[in-house]
C-alpha cells in the first residue's frame, strides 16, 4: 500500500516537472509529503520505471543521470557555461524518422537529440568580461 503510494508520488513529481530530474531532486521534492522515503528507494523505483518503459533516462554533459516521463520525450538546449537547460517544444525529427523508415525499412523506436552552446547570459558575460563583478 505504502509502496504503491510512493511509486505514484515519484511518477507524479516527474510528470509535473518541466525538466528531467535526478534521483536527488525527486527525493528532495518529495521530502515534505514522504519524509520516510529513502533516497535508495527513489533510485530503485526510478530504475524499475525505466525497465518498465515508464521513464526515460538521460545523461547530460555533467554526467548526472536524470529521468523524465517516457511518453513525453524531449530535446534540450544545454549551456556549456552555466549548465542551464531549455526544453525544446515539440520534436523536429518526426519527419526525418518517417523518411528514414521509408528509405531504410527500419522501424525507429526512439532517438535522442541534445544541443550544446552558450546561453544569452553566458554570451553577455564573454563579451564583457571586464564588467563582471561591477555593480
| CB proximity list for 29: less than 8 A, separation 6 or greater | 13, 17, 21
Q: Is 122 in the site for Zn ion (CB under 5 A)?
A: yes
Residue closer to Zn ion (CB basis): 39 or 116: 116
70 and 107 Cβ atoms separated by less than 8 Å: no
CB of 4 to Zn ion, least distance (A): 32
Q: Alpha carbon of 14 to those of 25, 74, 102, 106, 116: distances in Å? A: 10, 13, 34, 31, 23
| CB proximity list for 97: less than 8 A, separation 6 or greater | 108, 111
Binding mask 61-100 for Zn ion (x = CB under 5 A): ------------------x-xx-x------x-x-------
Tell me if 75 is assigned to a ligand binding site: no
Tell me if 91 is assigned to a ligand binding site: no
Tell me if 50 is assigned to a ligand binding site: no
30 and 37 Cβ atoms separated by less than 8 Å: yes
Residue closer to Zn ion (CB basis): 52 or 89: 89
Binding residues for Fe cation: 73, 111
Give the interface with Zn ion as residue ranges (CB under 5 A): 79, 81-82, 84, 91, 93, 119, 122
Amino acid at each position: 500500500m505504502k509502496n504503491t503510494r510512493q511509486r505514484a508520488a515519484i511518477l507524479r513529481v516527474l510528470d509535473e516537472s518541466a525538466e528531467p530530474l535526478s534521483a536527488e531532486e525527486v527525493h528532495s521534492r518529495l521530502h515534505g509529503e514522504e519524509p520516510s522515503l529513502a533516497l535508495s528507494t527513489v533510485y530503485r523505483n526510478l530504475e524499475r520505471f525505466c525497465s518498465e518503459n515508464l521513464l526515460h533516462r538521460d545523461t547530460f554533459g555533467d554526467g548526472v543521470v536524470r529521468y523524465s516521463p517516457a511518453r513525453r520525450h524531449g530535446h534540450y538546449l544545454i549551456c556549456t557555461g552555466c549548465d542551464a537547460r531549455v526544453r525544446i517544444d515539440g520534436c523536429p525529427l518526426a519527419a526525418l524518422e518517417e523518411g528514414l523508415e521509408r528509405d531504410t525499412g527500419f522501424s525507429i523506436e526512439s532517438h535522442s537529440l541534445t544541443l550544446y552552446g552558450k546561453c544569452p547570459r553566458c554570451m553577455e558575460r564573454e563579451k564583457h568580461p571586464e564588467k563582471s563583478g561591477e555593480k
